[in-house]
């Protein structure tokens, strides 16, 4: 995993910024996002509205916390968990043969497919680097064996 502080800072800003942008795009058009959620045919209308109201703000908060460096590991965990969920959802959608707009970045028309999975895997890599490599290096006891 990446442990260089400057690289991790860039990862935090990029990944956090993407999540703030994606969440804001959805929060501005909650009815459109609720329809995107409904198109996946996994939840009913009521749950799609609840998801459309909660998920964007979770993305905005987690992204903002990453950018600002607040609760970095917790924010990285939330973002990584969301990405795992998004990847699994896209895979299931593809297996079921559904042709839906992923709803990832609001009004941008993007079909849930391999391209979305690859993008999410790239973001998941950043999130896991922040989650697993974001702490200080462990100190050694005793003389160095190098």
Query: What does the DSSP assignment read for 11-26?
Result: HHHHHHHHHHHHHHHH
Whose structure tokens read 């209308």?
45
The first and second tokens of residue 17, run together, are: 């910024």
CA angle 115, 79, 18 (to 5 degrees): 60
Q: What is the CA radius of gyration of the chain?
A: 17
Question: Is the residue at 139 inside a domain?
Answer: no
Residue 143 lies in a domain: no
Calpha distance 124→114 (Å, rounded): 15
Does 122 fall in a domain? yes
In a domain, 75, yes or no: yes
Q: Are 79 and 55 in contact (CB under 8 A)?
A: no
**Residue 13 domain-assigned (yes or no):** yes
Number of domains composing the chain: 1
- Does residue 73 contact residue 135 with C-beta atoms inside 8 Å? yes
Please provide the average confidence, as pLDDT, over all residues in the chain: 85
Q: Is residue 23 part of a domain?
A: yes
Q: Which domain holds residue 110?
A: 5-133
pLDDT at 1 over 80: no
pLDDT of residue 138: 45
pLDDT digits (tens, 9 = 90+) for 88-139: 988 988 898 888 777 777 655 567 678 888 999 999 999 999 999 855 544 4
Look at residue 114 in the predicted model and tell me its pLDDT: 83
């Amino acid at each position: 995993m990446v442990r260089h502080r400057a690289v991790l800072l860039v990862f935090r800003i990029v990944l956090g910024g993407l999540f703030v942008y994606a969440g804001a795009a959805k929060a501005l058009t909650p009815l459109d996002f609720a329809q995107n959620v409904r198109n996946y045919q996994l939840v009913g209308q009521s749950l799609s509205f609840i998801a459309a109201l909660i998920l964007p703000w979770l993305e905005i908060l987690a992204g903002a916390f990453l950018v600002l460096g607040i609760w970095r590991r917790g924010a990285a965990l939330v973002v990584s968990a969301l990405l795992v969920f998004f990847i699994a959802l896209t895979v299931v959608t593809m297996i079921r043969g559904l042709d839906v707009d992923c709803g990832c970045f609001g009004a941008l028309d993007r079909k849930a497919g391999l391209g979305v999975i690859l993008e999410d895997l790239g973001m998941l890599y950043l999130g896991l680097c922040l989650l697993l490599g974001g702490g200080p290096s462990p100190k050694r006891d005793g003389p160095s064996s190098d």
